[in-house]
Structure 1
Amino acid sequence: MKITDIKTYLVEAHRRNWVFIEVETDEGVTGVGEATIEPFERTMVTLIEDYKRTVIGKDPSAIEYLWEDRYRGQFLRSDLLVNVALSAIEIACWDIKGKVLGVPCYELFGGPCRETVPFYGNYWFMKTRMGSTSVGEYAESAARAVENGFRALKWSPFGYVAHSMTPEQEHVTMECVRRVREAVGPDVHLMVDAHGRFDLPQAKRLAQRFEEFDLYFME
């Protein structure tokens, strides 16, 4: 079996674009991988096109060889974009191998570790935006999400704040988390995501203030 082509798909997904690839073979078996990394989606598409020329004709089942050959065959080995592109090709090759062998990929990695996987709700608040709507609307959205079966919710209660917060902004953030906790009760996991916008002192201060709301984690 040989790789004959790699197709890329740029998919619009609200505030970002997803990048998927499909590795094709001469035996008609295809594999799917993902190479999403915002905000460099178009750069990633170009990078994968460059890699395509170097892997066509190679055996997709020789996954370790393909990775080492491409990774060590370039100068900037630790570049993030390079690693994401190679990972997408690797994922697609594992998909191909699983299809050829007639088993799911987890069987190739040693078998299942669990029968169920817990999940959390994200974008359950899409109709609300901090700064343009009230914290009460966040609480209402959270309650609806729990009614729909979610037992864990993650969101960013920081609005459009970047780097540092005024006392008023911090108060609104704490009130938002407080209202959401009150709306969902003590048995629902809550997580907040700062998207890397704060320095360490500010992040520690916020984490300490969040303790009273029993957050599952702060990202």
Structure 2
Amino acid sequence: MMTLYHSPKSRSTRIIALLYELGALDDVSVQIVAIARQDGSGQRDPANPHPEGKVPFLAHDGVTIWESSAIMLYLADLFPKAGLSIPPGHPQRGAYLSWFAWYAGVVEPVMLLEAIGLTHPALASTFRSGTEMRQRLAAGLAEGPYLFGARFTAADLLLHSPYAWFGKAGDPVLDDWVERCMARPGAAFATEFDAGHVLK
């Protein structure tokens, strides 16, 4: 049995979209929990087993998986028939895994630093600048329409997600890609799901 601990309109919304794309909604129980949000609303939910009270958090037969990148990799591999994962042994598997690690190690830190207006040469040399990050992502889409050509994968779902939340990147290649990803049925389902599960 699998349980996803989810809070509407949060980082875990992309996991709801992924579950829809995987055809796995009947295989995963979604438990709605509260979280403390950056605007000061919400609070830590004692029903959420995440050690930091965050979402997403996935429990599968006693195994726990946290962080969006890990959860998405785990689920896409677990439901291979959907074709959203690039399997072990495939020539593109290494690149596929690299996009997930790059998202967690570069994209989120860089976007956060830009949002709060924090700059320093050490930060830029460690994480790259926002411009360099967007250029790298656009280069990955050179043979588009997705990161792996015509094939939409969980990597696209993860990497487009911050732009779905915070707005377009201002780069035509990236903006067109974000629109394609947002037009997917999983994105529409996740929006409707969250609207129907808003915590009172």
TM-score with structure 2 setting the length: 0.29
Query: Which structure shows the bigger proportion of residues in strand conformation?
Result: 1
Of structures 1 and 2, the one scoring higher in RCO (CA 8 A, sep 6+) is: 2
TM-score with structure 1 setting the length: 0.27
